[in-house]
Amino acid sequence: MFLGEFEYKIDEKGRVPIPPRFRRELKEGVVLTPGVEKCITAYPLPEWKKLAVCNFLVRMRLNGFRSE
């Protein structure tokens, strides 16, 4: 889990810098999503994939899909 508050500006190419202490854990990729109160939420790619699978399974279950 990443916790912290960092103020960075988007550069002229539209990029957001990643704080140095998080770069190693994000080397496989990162997914950025809008957070609350004008924040950005960052997920390491492997964690995002897990969330996507869980979200898909929940939606399937809510729509009446059963794996039986």
Whether 9 contacts 17, CB under 8 Å: no
Q: Mind listing the pLDDT tens digit for each residue in 28-45? A: 998 888 888 878 888 889
C-alpha distances in angstroms, 34 versus 37, 40, 56?
A: 9, 5, 20
pLDDT at 14 > cutoff 70: yes
The answer to whether the CB of 44 falls within 8 A of the CB of 26 is: yes
φ, ψ of residue 32 to 5 degrees: the values are: -105, 130
pTM across the whole model: 0.59
